Amino acid sequence: MKLHHFSILFVIIAIVVFTITDIKTDRLVSIMKDKESLDLDFNNAIDSAARNLVEVDAAGSLVVNKETAVNDFLLSMYASLNLMNDDDKQKRLQNYIPVIVITCEDGYYLYYSDEYKRSDGFTYISKRWSEKIPYSYEDDDFIYSFTMNDTLTLYDKRRLLDTSGDQTVFTLDYHELSQDDQFENFRKQRPDSFLLNDDKFLQVRRKNIIEKIENSLAYYCNKHNSIAQQFGLSYKFALPVIDNSEWVRSIAGPSIVILFQGYPIGGGNIDTYNRYAIAGSEVTKKQIYYLEQKSWYYVYHKAGCPELKKDGIVILDTPYYSVLDCVKAGAYACPYCSGDTGICAPAYSP
């Protein structure tokens, strides 16, 4: 064989190889691009969901707007995926969301697809909300119902708490168990109960809540598989591994957990996009700021700033609840407590 034969051979092989490689890389690139864009969309959607998840109603208590949150998420997704005018596609999108969990203070809701039979005998599939599932846990002594804050509901199985009376159901702050006199008896009987230990309690509570949610998620995720099949989705839905650190945020307050799986991406639907998002919403207590008057300007301090404790300074009485309010009152940031994120006063002495 001559060289030119090898060359031709080589060219043939090379073309094949190059083409295939090209295709593959291109595919990868396209998937990556899609992923990026979907990521962005998803982020926006989950942000809008989380924004309206919780609000403070007139009485001052927290209200979890689960429907609004989910609606917002879906609308945002439709908008970014350009499905606003297409009802059918909108419905199909929902199939890629196996389950949504909305956690509240004392329980959680699930949003999942379910089959049901209607009066006309046909089976319909639609999304529905579950009831509120409390964070419950059972051991030998009590049946616990945890909440995201320190409140706890106990069902006293063995009458450890209330020896004299008939009360079996207690709703209390768990600290009371270790401090209150009426539970002296209990403390004697169960000195190493995790209820009496702060760290342990927190640990148990967190673990329990996470476990519960994860279990529900797993269950309904799997359940979705059967439903998705009917839509022709061959993707196998499964709960992804969610790191504990991610869960922390969700159990600190009402949050929304969205699983989004199996969305086809890439040029020829070669890959699927899987994402989960946990968006916790906290109704944070607004940071209180106090203004101090310097020579010709004001300075706002956070509530715990050490500068406030110095003597000989003039502090105004009214508290301000946001940096914007402070600035609107004419205050610069305190270089010690807010200097990182605020603007400090220029150096000018009249």
Partner 1 sequence: MGKIFDYFISIIVAIILFFGLPLLYFSLKQDELTEVATSDIVSDFVDNVQTHGYLTKEMYEVFLEKLNTTNVIYNIHLKHKVLAIEPKYRLKTADEVKDDQNSAYKGKNIYTYREVKTEVPTVTDPVNTVNLNTETNESIMATAVNTPADPNHVHTKACYGGGDYDVNPDVWFNGGSGPSEWGPGNRVGTYYWVYMYCSHCGNMIATLTYEDNDQWDNASAYNFSSDQIQLGLSYMSNGISYSSCKCAFTKWETRWETTYTPPQDNWTFIEYKDGYFVYRRINPNWYSIYLPAMQKALSGSYYPDWLQAWEQLGFDPTYICPDCGSKLSLLCNQMVTSIVPTNPVQTVAVGERLITTVKLTYLDGSTKTVIATTNFSTVKITTSQTATLTYSYTVNGKSYSKNCNVTVTVVPKTKTCINGHTYNLNTDGSDPGCPYCKAWLKSLSVINPNTNSITIFKGTSLEDNGVSLLAIYLDGHKKYLYNGYVDNLDTNYVGSQNVTISYKGKYINLTVITKRNLKKCTVCGKYYELYPDGTDPGCPYCAAKIPIFTGSILKYYATTYSSKILDELYNGNGIYYFNTGDYFSIKVTNKSTTLGTRFMNFIVHNMPAINIQIEKGAPIRNGFNSTD
The residue ranges that bind partner 1 (CB under 8 A) are: 3, 6-7, 10, 14, 17-18, 21-22, 25, 28-29, 32, 36, 39, 43, 47, 249, 287, 295-298, 322-324, 327-332, 338, 340-343, 348, 350
Rounded to whole angstroms, what are the CA distances from 80 to 38, 76, 102? 9, 6, 23
Residue 3 beta carbon to partner 1: minimum distance, rounded to whole angstroms:
5
Strands (E), 33-132: 54-56, 62-64, 99-103, 107-117, 123-129
Give me the residues paired with residue 107 across strands: 134
Q: CA–CA separation, 288 vs 138, rounded Å?
A: 41
Compare residues 168 and 287 and give the one whose CB is closer to partner 1.
Answer: 287
Residues 141/189, Cβ–Cβ less than 8 Å? no
Question: Closest distance between partner 1 and the C-beta of residue 8, in Å?
Answer: 11
- Residue 36 or 67: the one with the smaller Cβ distance to partner 1 is 36
Which C-beta is closer to partner 1: that of 192 or that of 340?
340
> To which residue do tokens 């439903």 refer?
227
User: What is the nearest approach in angstroms of partner 1 to the Cβ of residue 203?
Assistant: 22
Residue (of 139, 131, 168) closest to 153 by Cα position: 168
Residue 84 or 343 with smaller CB distance to partner 1: 343
For 211-324, where are the E strands, in sequence order?
A: 255-265, 271-280, 289-293, 298-302, 314-320
- d(CA 68, CA 18) in angstroms, rounded, equals 51
**CA-to-CA dists, residue 76 to 70, 216, 265, angstroms:** 10, 26, 18
Q: How far is the CB of 193 from partner 1 (least distance, A)?
A: 35
User: Least distance (Å) from partner 1 to the CB of residue 112?
Assistant: 25
Nearer to partner 1, 28 or 315 (CB): 28
The nearer residue to partner 1, 35 or 187, going by C-beta atoms, is 35
CB of 25 to partner 1, least distance (A): 5
